[in-house]
Amino acid sequence: MPSILEVNNLVKKYGDFTAVKGISFDIREGEIFSLLGPNGAGKTTTISMLSTLYDPTDGDAVIAGHSIKKYPMAVRQVIGVVPQDLALYEELTARENLEFWGQMYGLGGKPLASRIDEVLEQIGLTDKAKNRVKTYSGGMKRRVNIGVGLLHKPRLLFMDEPTVGIDPQSRRAILDTVKALNAQGMTVLYTTHYMEEAAELSNRVGIIDHGELIALGTQDELTRQVGQTDTLLLHIGEEEDPEALSTALRGLPGVQNADVSDHTVSIITPSAEDILAAVVAKANERGIKIRSLDIREPNLEAVFLHLTGRALRD
Amino acid sequence: MRKILAIIIKDAIMRFSGFSELLFFIILPIIFTFLLAGGTPSGDEDARIRLLVVDEAQTALSAQIVSELAASSAVRPEVVSRADAEEQFSQRRASSIFIIPAGLDTASLQEGTAAVDFRQQPNNLNASIAQRAIQTALRRVSSAVSAANTAVSQREEAMPFASDAEKAAYFDQSLELARELQEDTPQRVTVIRAATPDQVEYDPRANSSAGQLITWVFIPLFGISELFAYERATGTLRRLLTTPTRKATYLLGTISGQVLMAIVQMLLLVGFGILVMKLAWGRDPLALAVMLVCSALAAAAIGSAMGAFVKTSGQANGLSIMLGMVMALMGGCWYPIELFPPAIQTFVKVLPTTWAMQGMLDLVLRGGGLVDILPEAGVLLGFAAVFFAVGVWRFRYE
Ligand SMILES: Nc1ncnc2c1ncn2[C@@H]1O[C@H](COP(=O)(O)OP(=O)(O)OP(=O)(O)O)[C@@H](O)[C@H]1O
Ligand SMILES: [Mg+2]
């Protein structure tokens, strides 16, 4: 497959601060490519440059044959953008929003009207199209936000953390929409800090941290880098002290690392099965009750931890 | 073009999405215009301003000046003694007094050296009006005198007078004739109810209609800054600039939309002025159109320039209202500019509202036409050019 996007050494400085430090990657026509990284990694800055909103400080990118620096207007015809923060007119109805943005993409008349019907169908808001966006739930607004980016059937769709801050049901709907769009032939650049989303959606993943692309490849290629490690997740009751448990577990042989998030202790180990008995015994000894446990094979979270020494969400 | 239209429609829907906008668009402006015009003066009562006159000359000439004042529709002269006048003035029971000194004669009046004495309470509108009325009376008497003088000298050239007495009689006769002729001269501007000397530049209804029109149209046009700030905050401006739409298209659409809405609003208010307030807005439609468009452009330009500097839409909103109010007040939209101290009258020339107001008054009060408003229109276009340049140059999308 040929590349629809080639990024060459893209740099963005805000004053003295370098938010994106010379990243390069390419996206092939028809794939879903995820940029996975924690808050402040430089995902939005990268997308802003690729969508011709910011001038890169250095480097360039070529989208469908057009340089983002030299031919921004040609690039804008090819791309659709779903910004991280909602960018809608709340006083307008969903349909009025779609009409306005459709016209900004140069559409109009009957073709636009029927395209709006299709998009409303796709985002599941046909019934509510005549209500003002300000009356919508967060999830519905997110879906309109996505719909706007689809109107002109872009070859390449940028989606910047489209599932942030919404309920699981809406999230599911959005992930399914992304897959459906991709199945229809749309290439997608998807950014997220949810490892699961990157894993579920993408053909290839780029991991970005502090403005640098620290890993790039398919999920298999990336997890292989980590070596043969498992993640063992221990879910404990709310009344228990996870810090105490993780501290105790760190001393056990075979435990490479133990980390806490909410009421879960995650342990990185070469083999979860081998240490399981010892872990449970240790918890009993401390009087901490384990409610349930999960074993995860190597995943992107582990890759990130391996590369940076930090959890993806901190 | 389609994009510009789409932007205009979008902005119109957003602006009129609530009832309250109608309140500010037309309802409140009409109520204010009506109230500040003071309604209509009631039937028979003499609405003229009382003017104390002290006649120390006691000549035919001074009597003529007093009768000229009495004929004015703006003032009602009341001849009193100097002591009485000064007492009333010092107790602020009289807004102004006019003293005709003993030495006043035709020569000094003609040469403009006549030292009449006019005293007025500070910053008093009635006093300003009285002053204008006096100037007019003096001018009318003086021009009658000069007409009579011309008649005398022409007669003298043709056939010298037999005696000084005959010459004086001829002069008096000519003066009387000149005054009769003057009486028949049609007068140009109407004030309150009757014909008025053309120097009085105040009519509560015309001033209210023009002043309120400017006030209520300038504020929402300054509000273009709020629109920019709002679109920056919601991220719609950023999104717009990832679509194949140019910055210039956005600016043109946004600004022309608000200017169009302002013109509709102004036409409604002008319509109210013509139909309800019986004002002569419609005398020169072309000149009126030029004034309305130039005023709207100047205000829109200032709004655009403000839009580049404000941080939040709340800040923009507050600033638009505050600036709009201050500029309206200082520009003479609420009180006639003649009431301000001279230094301030000069200073307020830096405000677009001053020029807009003067242009509107040229049309609705002074009976002017296209030629008369060209200077004001030109200055307003200058404001527009400068502020649009700043607005476009400093335009930010986040
Ligand atoms: N306009 C700006 N001026 C200065 N610094 C900025 C600006 N925008 C972003 N930054 C900084 O650049 C870095 C990258 O920000 P960016 O928004 O690209 O990260 P992100 O990966 O999208 O994060 P998030 O997951 O929170 O959206 C951050 O440290 C941020 O504080
Ligand atoms: Mg971001």
Most confident of A277-286, B57-66, B207-216, B376-385: B376-385
Q: What is the DSSP letter of B349?
A: G
Q: How confident is the model at residue B182 (pLDDT cuts 50, 70, 90)?
A: low
**Residue B83 vs residue B148, higher pLDDT:** B83
Residues A52 and A148 in one domain: yes
CA distance linking residue B226 with residue B339, whole number of Å: 33
Identify whether A25 is part of a domain.
yes
Residue in A294, A293, A235, A230 with CA at minimum distance from that of residue A264: A235
Residues A18 and A114 in one domain: yes
In this structure, the residue with its CA closest to atom 7 of ligand 1 is A14
Residues B145 and B235 in one domain: no
Report pTM: 0.73
Matching residue, tokens 């109407």: B190
Residue in B123, B5, B7, B109 with CA at minimum distance from that of residue B60: B109
Residues B35 and B68 in one domain: no
Residue B184's pLDDT is what?
53
The 10 Å CB-count burial string (b at 16+, else e) for B154-163 is ebeeeeeeee
| pLDDT over 70 at B195, yes or no | no
Most confident of A35-49, A233-247, B123-137, B330-344: A35-49
Q: How confident is the model at residue B199 (pLDDT cuts 50, 70, 90)?
A: very low
Residues B240 and B266 in one domain: yes
| pLDDT over 90 at B245, yes or no | yes
Those residues whose C-beta lies under 8 Å from the C-beta of residue B132, and which sit 6 or more positions away, are: B74, B197, B199, B200, B201
Residues A168 and A277 in one domain: no
| pLDDT over 70 at B189, yes or no | no
Q: How confident is the model at residue A146 (pLDDT cuts 50, 70, 90)?
A: very high
Identify whether A59 is part of a domain.
yes
At residue B387's C-alpha, the angle toward residues B386 and B392, to 5°, is 105
Beta bridge partners of A259: A266
Among residues A164, A196, A223, the one where a domain terminates is: A223
Three-state secondary-structure class, residue A117: helix
Identify whether A309 is part of a domain.
no
Residues A154 and A293 in one domain: no
A81 touches chain B (CB under 8 A): yes
Q: How confident is the model at residue B219 (pLDDT cuts 50, 70, 90)?
A: very high
- A42 alpha carbon, closest ligand: 1
Residues A60 and A195 in one domain: yes
**Residue A105 vs residue B137, higher pLDDT:** A105
Among residues B183, B218, B245, the one where a domain terminates is: B183
Identify whether B190 is part of a domain.
no
- A210 alpha carbon, closest ligand: 1
Radius of gyration of chain A (CA): 22
Please give the residue range of the domain that contains residue A16.
3-223
Residue B128's pLDDT is what?
77
**Lowest mean pLDDT segment, chosen from A50-54, A123-127, B313-317, B362-366:** B362-366
Cβ contact B235–A83 (<8 Å): yes
Residues B265 and B152 in one domain: no
Task: For residues B281-309, give the mean pLDDT.
Answer: 94
Strands B117-120 and B96-100, bridge-based pairing: antiparallel
Three-state secondary-structure class, residue A111: helix
CATH number of the CATH domain containing A114: 3.40.50.300
**Residue B97 vs residue A52, higher pLDDT:** A52
Chain B residues close to A53, C-beta within 8 Å: 238, 241-242, 397
In this structure, the residue with its CA closest to atom 24 of ligand 1 is A39
Q: How confident is the model at residue B112 (pLDDT cuts 50, 70, 90)?
A: low
Residue A57's pLDDT is what?
96
Task: For residues B92-101, give the mean pLDDT.
Answer: 82
Beta bridge partners of A82: A159
Residues A107 and A243 in one domain: no
Task: For residues B188-205, give the mean pLDDT.
Answer: 44
CA distance linking residue B295 with residue B356, whole number of Å: 6
Residue B114's pLDDT is what?
67
Task: For residues B148-153, give the mean pLDDT.
Answer: 82
Q: How confident is the model at residue A230 (pLDDT cuts 50, 70, 90)?
A: confident
Question: Which candidate from B3, B235, B240 shows the least CB-CB separation from A85?
Answer: B235
Residues A208 and A241 in one domain: no
Identify whether A305 is part of a domain.
no
Burial grade of B192 (CB within 10 A; 0-12, 13-18, 19 or more): middle
Residue A69's pLDDT is what?
95
CATH number of the CATH domain containing B158: 3.40.190
> Three-state secondary structure along B368-397?
CCHHHHHHHHHHHHHHHHHHHHHHHHCCCC
Q: How confident is the model at residue A314 (pLDDT cuts 50, 70, 90)?
A: low
Identify whether A302 is part of a domain.
no
Residues B161 and B208 in one domain: no
CA distance B195 to chain A (A): 53
Using CA coordinates, name the residue in chain B closest to A109: B2
Residues A152 and A244 in one domain: no
CA distance B248 to chain A (A): 13
A51 touches chain B (CB under 8 A): yes
- Average pLDDT along chain B: 84
Q: How confident is the model at residue A269 (pLDDT cuts 50, 70, 90)?
A: confident
In this structure, the residue with its CA closest to atom 2 of ligand 1 is A14
CA A139 to chain centre: 16
Q: Name the domain count of chain B.
A: 2
- CB of A42 within 6 A of ligand 1: the answer is yes
Identify whether B328 is part of a domain.
yes
Residues B16 and B85 in one domain: no
Those residues whose C-beta lies under 8 Å from the C-beta of residue B80, and which sit 6 or more positions away, are: B52, B53, B54, B88
Residue B218's pLDDT is what?
94
Q: How confident is the model at residue A1 (pLDDT cuts 50, 70, 90)?
A: low
Cβ contact B242–A77 (<8 Å): no
CA distance B247 to chain A (A): 11
Please give the residue range of the domain that contains residue B127.
49-183
Using CA coordinates, name the residue in chain A closest to B15: A91
Residues B82 and B146 in one domain: yes
Q: In which element (H, E) is residue B192 found?
A: none
Strands A204-209 and A212-217, bridge-based pairing: antiparallel
**Residue A41 vs residue B117, higher pLDDT:** A41
Do B153 and B174 contact (CB within 8 A), yes or no?
Answer: no
CATH number of the CATH domain containing A270: 3.30.70.100
pLDDT digits (tens, 9 = 90+) for A116-131: 999 999 999 999 999 9
Residues B276 and B384 in one domain: yes
- CB of A40 within 6 A of ligand 1: the answer is yes
Identify whether B65 is part of a domain.
yes
Residue B377's pLDDT is what?
96
| pLDDT over 90 at B177, yes or no | no
Residues A67 and A100 in one domain: yes
Q: How confident is the model at residue B47 (pLDDT cuts 50, 70, 90)?
A: low
Do A193 and A39 contact (CB within 8 A), yes or no?
Answer: yes
Burial grade of A69 (CB within 10 A; 0-12, 13-18, 19 or more): middle
Residues B149 and B276 in one domain: no
Residues B383 and B251 in one domain: yes
CA distance linking residue A309 with residue A227, whole number of Å: 15
Residues A198 and A240 in one domain: no
Residue B201's pLDDT is what?
56
> Three-state secondary structure along A217-231?
ECHHHHHHHHCCCEE
| pLDDT over 70 at B193, yes or no | no
Strands A32-36 and A187-192, bridge-based pairing: parallel
Q: Name the domain count of chain A.
A: 2
Residues B273 and B233 in one domain: yes
| Side-chain half-sphere exposure of B284, counting CA atoms within 13 A | 20
Say how many Å lie between the CA of residue A161 and the centre of ligand 2: 7
